[in-house]
């Protein structure tokens, strides 16, 4: 048992914390440094408020689940790497030892989240909300069972042959397998973590602005500002989609497509990416928005992401790309604050995107 744990430490646990040093540093600064001493995210007043606010509790549990997905994806990637083929030998150990070793691996990787879950459970017990206490404990238990069960089975199925692609394609419908959806499928299959994080960020910001500044009292400008801030958070997803297009879909550049067809491909891609936001706005049509309002927000979001994507066809570096996102954000922020209608900004954005695509597409060479 101990030799197996030493292997997991060197192959998975230590590399995980080393590779994610920046991630943990960011959250440590957020939890400890950037908060007032009496309002830090682990203090009793804040935890009690979380327990008593279902929406905030759901957001925190969602963040913990995203961290679980991060651990899952990291371990799965490590297992199928060619340099770790020797793990085939360890899969011949008794199933009970393998299962227990994976349970300990999960405990080591998920320890920060378990610590915060423990604080939440303690606060719920102090408030005598036994139902929430049971739910929090069940949440951690279910994740532990899923992780250990899945990787115990996967570990037992390891083979010495080089079969490194273990996931199967999930096909929603035959139409989704059309080549026009290839970039949309990339955002879901291979950039899932970035996709989900950008969705949580955008929806949380938009919902916050919607609650603090209801459109019935303040108009749609504050909500549009929150939505714009969420769209800026899609910058990394757009960049990775563009890199995927230029590194692994070079054949598309050689095919006899018209500019209009290539533009439709990008339009479908980012239309799919913004579907959660559309459903979110539709859910508020009876309270805050008309159908036309939902369409204008959707069009504005599409035009912004299309503009980010087509900007990358120009000869710019990644650092300059992020700088231009900042300039674009400031420009649109002032236009929104000066009450320029969103549909006009959407039309202008789509027009600029089409112009950039038509001008730079065949002149583009990767500069990252």
Cα–Cα distance between 356 and 359 in angstroms, integer? 5
The model's pLDDT over 296-311, given as tens digits with 9 standing for 90+, comes to 999 999 999 999 999 9
Report the pLDDT value the prediction gives residue 368, as an integer from 0 to 100: 43
Q: How many Cα atoms are found within 13 Å in the side-chain-facing hemisphere of 147?
A: 27
Task: Write the CB contacts of 280 (distance below 8 Å, at least 6 apart in sequence).
Answer: 203, 206, 207
Is 4 in contact with 97 (CB distance < 8 Å)? yes
Report the pLDDT value the prediction gives residue 346, as an integer from 0 to 100: 93
CA distances from 194 to 43, 62, 115, 190, 201 (A): 29, 14, 24, 9, 10
Report the pLDDT value the prediction gives residue 168, as an integer from 0 to 100: 44
The model's pLDDT over 323-338, given as tens digits with 9 standing for 90+, comes to 999 999 999 999 998 8
Q: How many Cα atoms are found within 13 Å in the side-chain-facing hemisphere of 334?
A: 5
Report the pLDDT value the prediction gives residue 366, as an integer from 0 to 100: 47
Enumerate the domain spans of the chain: 2-156, 174-363
Report the pLDDT value the prediction gives residue 296, as an integer from 0 to 100: 92
Is 5 in contact with 101 (CB distance < 8 Å)? yes
Report the pLDDT value the prediction gives residue 343, as an integer from 0 to 100: 92
Q: Distance between alpha carbon 213 and the CA centroid of its chain, in Å?
A: 26
List, for the chain, all residue ranges whose pLDDT scores fall below the cut of 70. Answer: 1-3, 30-42, 82-92, 157-182, 188, 250-256, 286-287, 363-368
3-state SS, residue 185? helix
Report the pLDDT value the prediction gives residue 48, as an integer from 0 to 100: 80
Cα–Cα distance between 26 and 95 in angstroms, integer? 38
Q: What is the pTM of this model?
A: 0.52
């Amino acid at each position: 048992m101990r030799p197996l744990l030493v292997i997991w430490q060197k192959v998975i646990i230590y590399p995980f914390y080393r590779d994610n040093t920046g991630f943990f540093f960011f959250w440590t600064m957020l939890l400890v440094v950037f908060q007032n001493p009496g309002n830090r995210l682990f203090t009793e007043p804040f935890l009690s408020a979380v327990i008593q606010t279902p929406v905030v509790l759901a957001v925190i549990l969602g963040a913990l689940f995203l961290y679980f997905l991060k651990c899952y994806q990291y371990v799965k990637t490590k297992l199928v790497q060619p340099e770790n083929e020797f793990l085939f030998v360890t899969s011949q150990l008794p199933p009970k030892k393998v299962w227990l070793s994976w349970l300990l691996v999960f405990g080591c990787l998920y320890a920060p989240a378990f610590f915060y879950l423990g604080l939440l459970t303690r606060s719920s017990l102090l408030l005598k909300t036994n139902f929430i206490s049971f739910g929090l404990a069940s949440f951690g238990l279910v994740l532990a069972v899923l992780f250990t069960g899945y990787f115990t089975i996967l570990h037992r199925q390891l083979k010495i042959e080089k079969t490194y692609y273990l996931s199967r394609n999930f096909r929603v419908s035959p139409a989704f397998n059309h080549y026009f959806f290839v970039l949309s499928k990339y955002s879901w299959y291979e950039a899932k973590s970035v996709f989900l994080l950008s969705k949580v960020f955008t929806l949380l910001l938009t919902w916050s602005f919607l609650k603090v500044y209801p459109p019935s009292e303040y108009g749609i400008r504050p909500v549009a500002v929150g939505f714009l801030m969420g769209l800026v958070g899609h910058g990394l997803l757009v960049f990775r989609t563009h890199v995927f297009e230029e590194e692994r879909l070079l054949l598309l550049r050689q095919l006899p497509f018209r500019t209009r067809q290539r533009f439709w491909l990008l339009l479908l891609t980012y239309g799919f990416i913004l579907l959660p936001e559309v459903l979110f706005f539709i859910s508020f049509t009876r309270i805050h928005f008309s159908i036309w309002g939902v369409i204008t927000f959707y069009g504005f979001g599409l035009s912004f992401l299309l503009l980010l994507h087509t900007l990358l066809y120009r000869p710019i570096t990644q650092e300059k790309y992020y700088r231009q996102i900042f300039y674009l954000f400031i420009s649109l922020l002032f236009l929104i604050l000066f009450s320029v209608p969103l549909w006009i900004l959407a039309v202008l954005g789509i027009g600029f995107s089409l112009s950039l695509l038509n001008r730079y597409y065949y002149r583009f060479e990767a500069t990252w």
